[in-house]
Amino acid sequence: MSRLFGTDGVRACANSDSMGALSSLKLAQAAAVVLGFDQAGAGERPKAVIAHDSRISGEFIGAAISAGLASSGVDVYDAGMLPTPAAAYLVADLDADFGVMISASHNPFQDNGIKFLARGGKKLPDAVEDRIEAVYTAQDFLRPRGADLGRISRFADAEDRYVTHLISTLPARSALEGLTIVLDCAHGAASGCSPDAFRMAGARVHVMAADPNGTNINDGVGSTHLEGLQAKVREVGADLGIAHDGDADRCLAVDERGQVVDGDTIMSILAVARKEAGKLKDDTLVATVMTNLGMEKYLETEGIRMVRTKVGDRYVLEAMKAHGYNLGGEQSGHVIMSDYATTGDGILTGMHLAAEVNRTGLSLSTLATRFDRVPQTMINVSNVDKYGVDTNTAVQSEIASVRSELGEDGRVLLRSSGTEALVRVMVEGPTESIVQSHAQRLADVVAHELRLEAPVA
């Protein structure tokens, strides 16, 4: 039987069997057992914070989850539409036993997801998700009566608390004074609090895609569609632009010329700034295997070590927690500043990036071009046995050959897709022609050696 929880909670098409009203209610009842009464102190009623992004389905799913929690004896604090990092912060700020975020991040509005947050606003370990799933499957729920039922309350000052927290992380309340910034809120969860936060920090703000109607989240806007933001930044002569995704746990930026600044570059700027301020733990940045080699070499010249993990913000977070590092993230814009947040926070990241532009007096384009990117290409090879990459002799021999030819001037990475019969071949090297040639060589060997007999539907 397939696992209910994926890499980032439960996610499916809204109103499908696994993301319907009844399944959501039962999942909440299961979470109440594991995260509520197993964790709360003796005689205390557990409490949970719940929030959602702007999807139309978040309303009925949220109602079902609130009903499931309250019927299990949990007091529910409904924070309404807020970003995922806001929900995480509020769980800690309220000292709640756990939290629930209803969002499918950058997915289209038809999808939705349910993500649970442990005490302190932290992600759940797989083992805890497995316990919730076991209770969900067995339907071994709690059935309190009378005064033992939970209450559902509107968390009226939730957004204000979160915005106040964001401002408090800046070196000064007016850290963005004098900057002109365009914000693309993806018609998502950041639509209210992101413009408020940037304005309160002193910036002159132009807002776009901040009119959610339940169905327009991520629709041609946000961090996966930067064209509109690029044009707006150039049109108004802004210092920079910030693009969020649907639940605002990540951001990408656009410089004053309208050029994209990805998560890797944002991390490099923040890492150098924090090292200079003596605030980068062990002078170390945590990034993934996809981070460009050119950035790693640049950071070395700045006295910053880079630790690489597998692709996925959960692996970045695990490495940070294991060694106490306080900055990490991904190319996609998931940046974790663990001094201030337990998860990636696109508003927090964007504000600190803008503050660095203001502090240095340098343009974002100047900050973003401190290092030369090594040419990088990726080829997706489909309909192959993705599990055979590490064991096939011919594939491993070709990988070794390419690595030998590239030497210290390049990197080779083959990654198996988590959901498809597909292998991603990534090569970095000194020139575009060299990386294309080597990547195609590897892709051809993978396709020949690992080809499946019948196409996978």
Q: Could you say which of 71, 103, 105, 223 is catalytic?
A: 105
| Same fold across 10-156 and 162-368 | yes
Q: Is 105 designated active site?
A: yes
d(CA 155, CA 152): 9
- How big is the CA angle at 422 (ends 420 and 423), to the nearest 5 degrees? 140
Q: Please tell me the distance from the alpha carbon of residue 152 to that of residue 48, in angstroms, as a whole number.
A: 10
- Residue 53's contacts (CB-CB under 8 Å, 6 or more residues apart) are 81, 83, 84, 102, 103, 104, 188, 189, 217, 246, 247
| C-alpha torsion sign, points 11, 12, 13, 16 | negative
CB atoms within 10 A of CB 199: 16
CATH 3.40.120.10 for the 10-156 domain, yes or no: yes
223 is in an annotated binding site: no
> Minimal CA–CA distance to 56: which of 307, 246, 195?
246
CATH number of 162-368: 3.40.120.10
Identify residue 27 by its one-letter amino acid code: L
- Note the CATH number of domain 376-450: 3.30.310.50
Q: Is 417 annotated as a binding residue?
A: no
Helices (H), 94-177: 126-138, 158-168
Helix (H) or strand (E) holding 255: strand 251-255
Domain ranges of the chain: 10-156, 162-368, 376-450
DSSP class of 30: H
Tens of each residue's pLDDT in the chain, 457 residues: 467 888 778 999 999 998 999 999 999 999 999 999 865 555 678 999 999 999 999 999 999 999 999 999 999 999 999 999 999 999 999 999 999 999 999 889 999 999 999 999 999 988 999 999 999 999 999 999 999 999 999 999 999 999 999 999 999 999 999 999 999 999 999 999 999 999 999 999 999 999 999 999 999 999 999 999 999 999 999 999 999 999 999 999 999 999 999 999 999 999 999 999 999 999 999 999 999 999 999 999 999 999 999 988 889 999 999 999 999 999 999 999 999 999 999 999 999 999 999 999 999 999 999 988 899 999 999 999 999 999 999 999 999 999 999 998 899 999 888 768 899 999 999 999 999 999 999 999 999 999 987 665 5
Establish whether 211 is an annotated binding residue.
no
Q: Is 71 annotated as a binding residue?
A: no
Q: Phi, psi (5° rounding) for residue 437?
A: -65, -50
**Cα(233)–Cα(221) distance, rounded to whole angstroms?**
14
- Listed in sequence order, the DSSP H helices in 282-392 are 293-301, 313-323, 346-360, 364-368
Q: What's CA 26's distance to the chain center, in Å?
A: 26
Give dist(CA 335, CA 330) in Å, integer.
6
